[in-house]
Amino acid sequence: MKKTILLFLLVCIIVLAGCQKQPIKTDQPTTSIPSQTQTPTPGSQETQTEEPPEKFNLYEDTKGMAVVKIQDGEASIAINPKNWPDVPENLDRDKQTAFCKINGLAGKISAACVGEISDLSQTFGGDGPFTTPIAVFLMEDGSLEWVTVNPWWYVSGAEQGYDKVAHSWGKIPWMENITSLSFGSENDGDGSKTTIYAVDKDGLRYNLKYPCNFQSLLHTTWRYTVDPEDKDALYLTFEDFERVDLDLRWGDQPLENFFGTYKLYLAEDGKQGKQAGCIEFDLILGWWIYEGEGEIDRPTAIKGTFFTQFARDWSLSLTLWPADGDPLYATREKTPDEYRFLSADMLEAIVEYTMDDDELVIYLMYIVPDVNAMIKESGMSALVTGETTELAGGVVCRNIWLGTKKDDSFTRELLYGVSPDGSVYRYDALSDSWTILH
């Protein structure tokens, strides 16, 4: 009898020892859930068939906002609402959500990394932009796919099904032969900004904020207003991962076209020849309106490198600063110190009045820093009534008032107008005139 009891205790100890979690070393904080197995009951007379163990890995960001589960080469994501600064009211803040399957992946996943990329333009929030976690997937072929974690998945998922609402944003262009991912602080600055890094087979390390932001280049045509008074504007269109067109127009009238190639510098420490985040253009003049009229000073090629920055709180804007080589645009009088491009699609939304009132105010705040300061720092409010003003030349602007809001009343103090081409005007009550600001 004693031998039987001792044998039973020994079996229990062995079974319990086999259920302990095994640590897994990764490049970022990672939790791995061990396989669960069916074990025959001690003393049973029948031999039971064991179920194959369920194997999966969990990856969690340092703030505990999102959990990524990788199983059988597929991904699903859950969030912990209590750790988010803002989530839809439908979600229970004290309970982790169900896992949403990530659809549309082009292959199987070998590893993942989840965390906040501070300078990524694709961010959002209810009361103001905040950086949401990004999940990056290392595929078996060495490519990368990614997605921004979205709390609204779990609202839609409760109605439509958690396996239907979330989709990969596709492959991250220009990233090939990647062997590992890691999360950490950026090298430059005070260390307060974080990012996700990728390392390729040659040992080059990439801050993924650059290729993820540069992916936006391909989604729209970019417009830079050269001279609001003359209506001159530059249009940049990235045709694919190499080709680009640069057009100068006066209103809707084409004036000239350059075409050629562009190159992105993405590796850290200048190991590709330029600082990470730079873009280089190599363009030739294809056509211009005064061909054959003997213009002597007309450049026939543009070859220059530019530093870049995408907007932090307005995702469809791109600023270029000259680094070396030729400017994108120059006149005899001046060469711009910077080129602030906006999405032509966004400007089209102003024309078609599909940009809602809140988006119009955000646009005004982005274009006019003084307006941004008055709203964010001085406590002023904005009011869009739906009224318009027709300026000289037949330009019709959507009106935006700045003023003081108290209870149910609004005191109108400053009037701004946004035209269909994205130009911004301010009304001067003393002279009863409008001044163009952008």
Instruction: Look up the domain containing 285 and give its range.
Output: 220-290+298-347
Please state, in angstroms and rounded to a whole number, the distance separating the CA atoms of residues 125 and 86: 7
- The number of distinct structural domains making up the chain is 3
- Which carries the bigger pLDDT value, residue 135 or residue 91? 135
Q: How much is the pLDDT for 257? A: 94
Same domain (yes/no): 62, 150: yes
**47 pLDDT more than 90:** no
- Same-domain pairing of 167 and 197: yes
Q: Which of 347, 363, 381 is the last residue of a domain?
A: 347
Please report whether residue 363 resides in a domain: yes
Q: Do 185 and 82 fall into the same domain?
A: yes
> Do 67 and 194 reside in the same domain of the chain?
yes
Long-range contacts, stretch 372-379, CB < 8 angstroms, 24+ apart: 374/402, 374/414, 375/402
Residues 229 and 194 in one domain: no
> In the chain, pLDDT over 90 holds for what percent of residues?
45
Is there a single domain that holds both residue 187 and residue 87?
yes
Residue 3 tokens, joined: 């031998």
Residue ranges of alpha helices (H) inside 322-419 are 344-351, 357-367, 369-376
Query: Above 60 in pLDDT, residue 160?
Result: yes
Confidence of residue 35 (pLDDT cuts 50, 70, 90): very low
The whole-number pLDDT of residue 360 equals: 85
For 377-413, how does the pLDDT look when each residue is reduced to its tens digit (9 = 90+)? 888 999 998 898 988 777 888 899 999 988 888 999 9
Domain presence at residue 92: yes
Share of the chain above pLDDT 70, in %: 79
Residue 403: its H or E element: strand 396-406
Does residue 33 form part of some domain?
Answer: no
For residue range 337-369, list pLDDT tens digits in order. Answer: 899 888 777 666 565 556 778 888 888 887 888
Least confident window among 32-46, 80-94, 123-137, 236-250: 32-46
Q: Which residues contact 238 (CB under 8 A, 6 or more apart)?
A: 217, 218, 244, 262
Residue 140 lies in a domain: yes
Residues 234 and 158 in one domain: no
| Better-predicted residue by pLDDT, 334 or 315 | 334
Average pLDDT, the chain: 82
**Considering just the CA atoms, what is the radius of gyration of the chain in Å?**
28
Q: Is 357 exposed, middle or buried (0-12, 13-18, 19+ CB in 10 A)?
A: middle
- Based on the fold, state whether residues 72 and 132 are members of the same structural domain: yes
Is 215 within a domain?
no
51 or 116: which leads in pLDDT:
116
* 123 domain residue, yes or no: yes
pTM of the model: 0.71
Same domain, 242 and 340: yes
Has residue 248 been placed in a domain? yes
pLDDT at position 41, please? 42
User: Is residue 278 over pLDDT 70?
Assistant: yes
228 and 92 co-located in one domain: no
Neighbour tally for 130: CB within 10 Å = 14
Helix axes 357-367, 344-351, angle to 10 degrees: 130
In this predicted structure, what is the pLDDT of residue 426? 93
Do 173 and 314 belong to one domain?
no
**Which of 180, 206, 232 finishes a domain?**
206
Which residues make beta-bridge pairs with 30? 59
Would you say residue 30 has pLDDT above 90?
no
Residues 96 and 116 in one domain: yes
Domain assignment present for 389:
yes
